[in-house]
Structure 1
Amino acid sequence: GPTFLNCILQSLKQYQEAIECYNQALFINPKFDLAWNNKGSALQKLNQYQEAINCYNQALSINPKNDSAWYQKGRALDTQNQSQEAIECYNEVISKNPQHDSAWFRKGLALQNLNQHQEAINCYNQALSINPKRFSAWNNKGLIIQRLKQYQEAIECYNQALFVNPKFDLAWNNKGSALQKLNQYQEAINCYNQALFINPKNDSAWYNKGRALDTQNQSQEAIECYNEAISKNPQYDSAWHSKGLALQNLNQYEEVLECYNKSISINCQARKSFENKGVILHSQQKYIDAISNFDQALNIEIYALGFKLKADSLFELRRKSEAKYFYLAALELGLNQNASIRTQLLKL
């Protein structure tokens, strides 16, 4: 009776009321591991993760074979970015129940977070061998394969996910991204449109559609997509940067600088935003400001083009010895085929 009531309350999302019932059950029987487990689950729904973990530990001290408590503890640890500890919990579940496809899937996710890609794929394969309809496993497997630049194989995984769940907007978006890597831009845009038809709030699909439109020289349409992405996620630094690029193509420089500044304010490691901002300032003959931005970019990453761009601004300021130094540094880092550097060095 009480356990059934608890389950009803939790299913109705009345988590605090459910916790009070679990407390009553535990007052009567402190060794009732199922109540500890369920209390942890309700606390987890309230984002009280450490309290939830404490409950799972209580359940497991009473009954170490409670695979549900091991699984739920793993999920709680995942939310705290404790992926290795979560994996240990999922291993406990799998050792007790090798057919627990959710544990295989969650272990794959945790391994993916640790960039252990092949091990993650193995876990997704195990989950799919138990439950081929687990579309999220198909999708996540595709993401890893795509990261390994095996785009066609990734698309096959996304197709499997979409065969199971045609309304899975994340898989449509990811399939579009893989098609875009294969330069199949119109097919990619079709996938983004499918994702957005299902979920108009998918900021990543708006962003990716904008990128695809940019490749087709449809800058104005791309800007509209970036605006949609930004309206849904104002902290989307890549969307601000790409909007700046599209505006740059349309020679709308004042708005461009605003976009790059926004990108940088969100992400101080936005090297390309610093670089592009510097290029515009250089074109406006604001050479000192340009150098300041190139220096910011070079503080993030030492790279040949950054040295060359800085040298160009130094050259215009007639700081010849410094310009020569950075041109030579650019050549040394691999821009030895750049004819403009050699032309500038001849002038120096």
Structure 2
Amino acid sequence: MRLSHDEEENNLSLSKFESMLKTNKVFFFDSEEFEDIILHYMDTGRMNLAKKALKLGLEQHPKSTGLRLVQVEMLVYEDRLDIAQKLLTELYAIEPNNEEIYIQQANIYSKRDQHEKAIDSLKIALDFTDDLADVYSMIGMEYLFMDNLEEAKQYFIKCLEEDNEDYSALYNIVYCFDFLDQNEEAIQYLEQFINKKPYSEVAWHQLGRQFYSLKNYEKSVWAFDYATLIDENFLGAYLEKAKGLEKLKQYKEAIECYNITMELDDPTSFALLRIGKCHEKLGNKDLALKFYLRTVHEDPLLDKAWIAITDFYIRQKNFQKAIYYVNKAIGIDGDNSLYWKRYAAIYQGMQFYEEAELGYRKAFEAGDIHLDTFVLWTNMLQELGEYETAIEILLQATEVFPEEYEIEYRLAGLYHLTANPKKGNFHLNNGLRLNFKNHTIIQEIFPLMWKKKTVQNIIEKYRN
């Protein structure tokens, strides 16, 4: 790629400077060359070289305001804010109309979390700058720090109006729309932007994402399609388009898109897994399994892939293979609650309740506190006749789900099983109060309790 004249000049200055350091000869640079050299080293994180360049620059140009302002920038970067402020006050007395003074002042305020003062300073800089887009963007960022997304959005919009090639501003605008749950407004804005700049693949991609958020998958695929037509190497747009095609149940077309992403870059575990899912939906079981296995080979820690293989065999009713793969997954990551939950579900399906109970217990110990985990776990304990343990677990569950009818009905039944009808009826009343409609689960899970006259009388009371 051919470099611009400015880039060539900058590269020559850098080469000349580094050559000077190696030979200990002293070469002359004008102050602007020094500024570019210092900022280059700061941008690339080589602070030692930046400091050397600054020292030499100030020796050759002791009165350069530009170099002093770069020095302020370096001090701010290093959090030496008091020294930076002192130097900036001196520079303000010399050049009160220099935009960079107000920008660096804003940086100091921002570092001190004084974002409103930073904005005031940047608004003054707007009066002196030729680069309005850059200052608008900085004001937008300050509003973001203050969580004022509406104002931030307006300034990023101003930035993009000044420089419609500034895609970071476009991303920030869409971020604000997303955060404010303004998908419809985002679509309207992006469509207006595309009318002015129809070949902006980034805008088409962002439009596709908005349609996808609103579950308008046809429109999302249409927008992603334009993004890929403008830039045939736009990997992200192909991925998003494939996801939309999956939602539309166009699995063959989705596979084609995922394949393109793997031609553009190394295969990702995400693409391999999704191709496997698409093949399974198409009934291509052998191909689905092949891609699932490739996924775990690519990323052995991807829980979704191991679960996909396990679920694949569960659907085939091949429980031995399902157990083999879920155990393999547990061997890789024994603290993954999703693996233990699958382990439990397989053994439950095989009516091996002790192993199923172990799986749900391990899932809970690994941090799973979902309602269905508590319910399934205590179902297994009930099958094993461990009513007291099941009650203890459900009482713990009420701390997480204080008003949950499924827990109350189960506690009612378990207390009746342990010959404690008083407590059982207390929880029965709770369950009926919370959700009368589902009271028939008592008949399914606790048939003996259901037949009790006292229980039927309590139910009758709530029926009316």
Superposition TM-score, scaled by structure 1 size: 0.69
Choose from 112, 125, 149 the match for 1:63: 125
Structure-2 residue corresponding to 1:186 = 252
Alpha-carbon shift at residue 319 of structure 1 (Å): 5.0
Choose from 221, 241, 259 the match for 2:329: 259
Alpha-carbon shift at residue 106 of structure 1 (Å): 2.1
How many equivalent residue pairs? 325
Residue 220 (structure 1) aligned with residue 299 (structure 2): no
Structure-2 residue corresponding to 1:44 = none
Alpha-carbon shift at residue 195 of structure 1 (Å): 0.9
Residue 208 (structure 1) aligned with residue 278 (structure 2): no
Partner SS state of residue 211, structure 2:
helix
Alpha-carbon shift at residue 209 of structure 1 (Å): 2.2
After superposition, where does 1:275-294 map in structure 2 within 5 Å? 275-282=341-348, 283=350, 284-285=352-353, 286-292=355-361
Alpha-carbon shift at residue 63 of structure 1 (Å): 0.9
1:158-210 deviation line (CA, Å, top 9, x unaligned): 00111111101111111111111122212111110101111215443233223
Structure-1 residue corresponding to 2:68 = 24
Q: Partner letter of residue 193 of structure 1? A: N
Identity between Structure 1 and Structure 2 (%) = 16
Q: Partner letter of residue 206 of structure 1? A: L
Q: Contact 1:94/1:100 (CA < 8 Å) preserved in 2?
A: no
Q: Partner letter of residue 385 of structure 2? A: R
**CA–CA separation in structure 1 for the residues paired with 2:273 and 2:91:** 54
**CA–CA separation in structure 1 for the residues paired with 2:32 and 2:218:** 49
After superposition, where does 1:1-348 map in structure 2 within 5 Å? 2-3=31-32, 6-7=35-36, 14=44, 16=47, 20=54, 23-25=67-69, 29-30=91-92, 32-34=98-100, 50=111, 60=122, 62-64=124-126, 66-72=132-138, 74=140, 82=145, 84-85=147-148, 88-95=151-158, 98=161, 100-101=163-164, 102=166, 103-200=169-266, 202-215=268-281, 216=283, 217=285, 218-227=287-296, 230=299, 234=301, 236-246=302-312, 251-259=321-329, 265=335, 273=339, 275-282=341-348, 283=350, 284-285=352-353, 286-292=355-361, 300-302=369-371, 307=375, 309-310=376-377, 312-318=379-385, 325-326=409-410
Higher relative contact order (CA 8 A, sep 6+): 1
- Of the structure 1 ranges 242-251 and 186-195, higher mean CA displacement relative to structure 2 is found in 242-251
**CA–CA separation in structure 2 for the residues paired with 1:310 and 1:134:** 53
1:106-154 deviation line (CA, Å, top 9, x unaligned): 2112322444322332332343233222222222221221232211111
Larger radius of gyration: 2
Structure-1 residue corresponding to 2:15 = none
**CA–CA separation in structure 2 for the residues paired with 1:165 and 1:93:** 25
Partner SS state of residue 192, structure 1:
helix
1:237-291 deviation line (CA, Å, top 9, x unaligned): 434543443465562414314436867846xxx6x55542321343444143144
Q: Partner letter of residue 383 of structure 2? A: E
Structure-2 residue corresponding to 1:46 = none
Change (3 A) 1:265 1:148: farther
Partner SS state of residue 371, structure 2:
coil
**CA–CA separation in structure 1 for the residues paired with 2:194 and 2:69:** 38
Change (3 A) 1:276 1:25: same
Superposition TM-score, scaled by structure 2 size: 0.54
